Chain A
């Protein structure tokens, strides 16, 4: 039984570490525009879905997207319009990665 516990624990810790590293490195940079369904508040975005402008790839136009910001609380507060974040894409849409890479001056 102890072996099962250790295998599970190690596998779960490895999964968490992988997810942390993935969120830090993968994805694209984007700028926060406002909250989905909101009216572009100038104060902190406190909803859990945000509108973003994805940085343009070479030769492409900047793209506007909507993303889940479930982990936005890790930015010691909330996202604000103008904050730069990293976004990742899965089959269920876009997600704000764990941390703001650059925060607009409050």
Chain B
């Protein structure tokens, strides 16, 4: 490890922590680009002194070489498509269809709400904010304030909170520029068909079950720990509602047509209906078609596209490039190697901490750190430090990516979850405990289990490919059930303590985080090493350490900012 690498790594981590603590009050992308430039300047000065001018001139190429174009353009195509859907009224058409679902007897209101909560994952758009912005107002309509007055305050909190959890994790498994594609790109070095979606199913599986546990956490713990921090009204008497009428959503023919085009394009991308035509081309073509049929102007198009995720991703890649060019990743590797030599942790414990790193440092878009840190995780495999095999790398990657991709939800830096909090009229930080708990204790271990038992054989070359056996699937079902049941029991137990007093609830919440964090670390190690006692113990220690840091970041009180801003 050179002193330069240590310095640039320290600079990067320091700046990220300061941004998270709001000591640096600038857009995180801008902070990252400035940090990148400073790191590159330091690197250039170092090379100028020790290696000469040719080494300095090679630096920009080395840094830019880390920008992987495929996930960026896939994300652009996905956002272009989403923008086109907004313009054409496609989301309005979707709302009409959702409302119509209620009238199907076998589904009813309860079934419709459950489907609504999982809709973001089903739609799998490249950024959860797109579908959240489109559907949160529809969810709000079910409340007394929203006009329909069919759900109680608790039901609204659970509905909006669980929906947002699902939305702000749905960018991971998205086949159209999802966060998971960054990991799949690296796994492609060994697994020939990784780019076809190797990380998609583990993420979807974990997100689906994690969403359900989030709902329980919100109902039994969050509501009791922060009883006065939601101003949403409870359901009111029907007599009070007399005279109030809610405008039902309306859609145009163009809206329905654009929705059909979107679904077709999504299916064509996932199932390669047009052969090896890249997903970007299919989506861009479909989006252009939607723009044409909706007769949208250029101004509509410019206003309809979300920009943040792309800028975040590019900034993350740039920072990763600068760190790589100056030896920052080598330094991180040395630090993590040293950590793995600590007997209580070992490689298993170190990995149990590493997969939780983005829940510890939640930024406004998970792509920033994913682009910077997935290369580090890759280095743990046979291509770098050789700590783990390719199969183990895939398992760790599955756990890392779902944990990372859900990290924008609880981010205090304008994270997606704030949209949900805004919609349920809650103070900032209301949903944080529920979101970080499920990312840490449910989703990461479930994704690892899924990868180990159901996915590892599917994405190899034709000659090496194999399907999971019935025994594998049974084991997956059994171990996943153990994880889910353990977290449900833990949630209900903490909820019971929280019903006694808030202080007791907070105390037991921390204990619950530690216990289930350790359990999650142990499950991750089991997925990686099988029934190896030492590694499972090390994973539990690493998981508990990560859980300790995560639990300390959950606010004990949601204090609003002073009502009078300082001038």
Give Cα distance in the complex from A38 to B27, angstroms.
25
Q: List B166-218 residues whose CB lies under 8 Å from chain A.
A: none
Across-interface contacts of A1 in B (CB, < 8 A) = 276-278
Instruction: Count residues of B near A (Cβ-Cβ below 8 Å).
Output: 65
Query: In the bound complex, how far is the Cα of B140 from the Cα of A88, in angstroms?
Result: 26
Q: Which residues of A contact B418 (CB under 8 A)?
A: 44, 46, 73, 78
How far is A48 from B424 in the complex, measured between Cα atoms in Å?
A: 12
Determine the chain B residues whose CB is within 8 A of the CB of A91 once the complex forms.
Answer: 87, 296-297, 299-300
Partner of A8, one of B278, B303, B310, B419: B278
What total of chain A residues lie within 8 Å of the partner, measured CB to CB?
51
CA distance A64 to B97 in the complex (A): 33
Q: In the complex, what residue of chain A is closest to B279 when comparing beta carbons? A: A8
Q: For window 46-98 of chain A, which residues contact chain B by CB distance below 8 Å?
A: 46-48, 68, 70-78, 80, 82, 88-92, 95, 98
Q: Which residues of B sit under 8 angstroms from A72, Cβ to Cβ?
A: 414
Q: Which residues of A10-56 have CB atoms within 8 Å of chain B's CB atoms?
A: 11-13, 15-16, 18-20, 22-23, 26, 35, 37-38, 41-48
Taken together as a complex, chains A and B put the C-alpha atoms of A41 and B561 apart, in Å, by 10
Interface hit among B7-15, B57-65, B69-77, B534-542: B69-77
Query: What are the residues of chain B within 8 A of A73 when measuring CB–CB?
Result: 129, 308, 364, 413-416, 418
**Complex: how many Å from CA A11 to CA B304?**
17
Question: Judging by beta carbons under 8 Å apart, are B414 and A4 in contact?
Answer: no
Q: How far is the CA of A88 from the CA of B276 in the complex (A)?
A: 39
What are 18 A-to-B residue pairs whose CB atoms are below 8 Å? A1-B276, A1-B277, A5-B281, A11-B284, A15-B80, A16-B310, A42-B561, A42-B563, A43-B563, A46-B422, A70-B129, A71-B308, A73-B414, A74-B364, A78-B414, A98-B308, A99-B27, A106-B561
Whether A44 pairs with B561 at a CB distance below 8 angstroms is: yes
Query: Which stretch in B18-26, B329-337, B439-447, B456-464 binds the other chain?
Result: B18-26
Apart from A41-B560, A74-B27, A90-B302, what are 9 other A-B pairs with CB-CB below 8 Å?
A8-B278, A12-B280, A46-B421, A48-B422, A68-B133, A74-B414, A88-B303, A91-B296, A92-B303
- Whether a CB of chain A sits under 8 angstroms from the CB of B358 is no
A102 → chain B, closest Cβ, in Å? 13
CB atoms of B302 and A19 under 8 A apart: yes
Task: Flag if B25 contacts A77 (CB, 8 Å).
Answer: yes
Judge if A9 is at the interface, Cβ distance under 8 Å: yes
Contacts of B29 in A (CB 8 A): 74
- The residue on A at minimum CB distance from B231 is A39
Is B247 engaged at the interface, CB distance under 8 Å to the other chain? no
Q: For A105, give its contact among B284, B308, B565 (CB under 8 Å).
A: B565
Q: Which residues of B contact A (CB under 8 A)?
A: 19, 22, 24-29, 31, 69, 72-73, 76-77, 80, 86-87, 129, 132-133, 136, 140, 145, 276-278, 280-281, 284, 296-297, 299-308, 310-311, 364, 412-416, 418-419, 421-423, 425, 427-428, 560-567
A92 to B252, CA, bound (A): 14
> Which residue on chain B has the smallest CB distance to residue A68?
B133
| Contact in complex: A75, B27 (CB < 8 Å) | yes
**Contact yes or no, B276 A92, CB < 8 A:** no
Contact B422 A35 (CB under 8 A): yes
The residues of A that contact B140 with a CB separation of less than 8 Å are 37
Neighbouring A residues of B76 by C-beta, 8 Å: 12-13, 15-16
CB-defined contacts of B560 to chain A, threshold 8 Å? 41-43
State whether B25 touches A90 (Cβ < 8 A).
Answer: no
Q: Is the CB of A92 within 8 A of B87?
A: yes
| Chain B residues positioned under 8 Å from A4 (CB to CB) | 277-278, 281
Pick from B22, B25, B136 the residue with the most CB of A within 10 Å: B25
> Which residues on the A side are within 8 Å of B562 (C-beta)?
42
Q: Are B428 and A43 in contact (CB under 8 A)?
A: yes
Q: Are A92 and B419 in contact, with the CB atoms below 8 A?
A: no
Query: What separation, in Å, do the CA atoms of A63 and B379 have in the docked complex?
Result: 56
**In the complex, what residues of A have CB within 8 A of residue B419's CB?**
46-48
Please, how many angstroms separate the alpha-carbon atoms of A15 and B72 in the complex?
A: 13
Give every chain B residue within 8 A of A35 (Cβ-Cβ): 422
Q: What residue of chain A has the Cβ atom nearest to residue B302's Cβ?
A: A22
Bound-complex Cα distance A60 to B367 (A): 44
In the bound assembly, the distance between CA atoms of A99 and B30 in angstroms comes to 11
Contact of B73 among A12, A22, A45 (CB under 8 A): A12
B433 smallest CB distance to A (angstroms): 17
Q: Say yes or no: A8 contacts B280, CB within 8 Å.
A: yes
A62 and B197 alpha carbons, distance in the complex (Å) = 52
Q: How far is the CB of B460 from chain A (nearest CB, A)?
A: 24
Q: Which A residue's beta carbon lies closest to that of B314?
A: A16
In the complex, A23 Cα to B299 Cα: how many Å?
10
Between B19, B132, B300, the greatest number of chain A beta carbons within 10 A of the residue's beta carbon is seen for: B300
Residue of A with least CB distance to B276 = A1
Chain A residues contacting B281 (CB-CB under 8 Å) are: 4-5, 8
CB closest residue in chain B, given A7: B281
Query: Which 3 A-B pairs give the minimum distances between C-beta atoms?
Result: A73-B414, A46-B422, A47-B422
Which B residue sits closest to A46, measured CB to CB?
Answer: B422
Most buried by A among B28, B76, B306, B428: B76
Across the two chains, which residue of chain B brings its CB closest to A4?
Answer: B281
* Contact A19 B305, CB 8 Å, known A4-B278, A5-B281, A91-B296: yes
A66 to B: closest C-beta gap in Å: 12
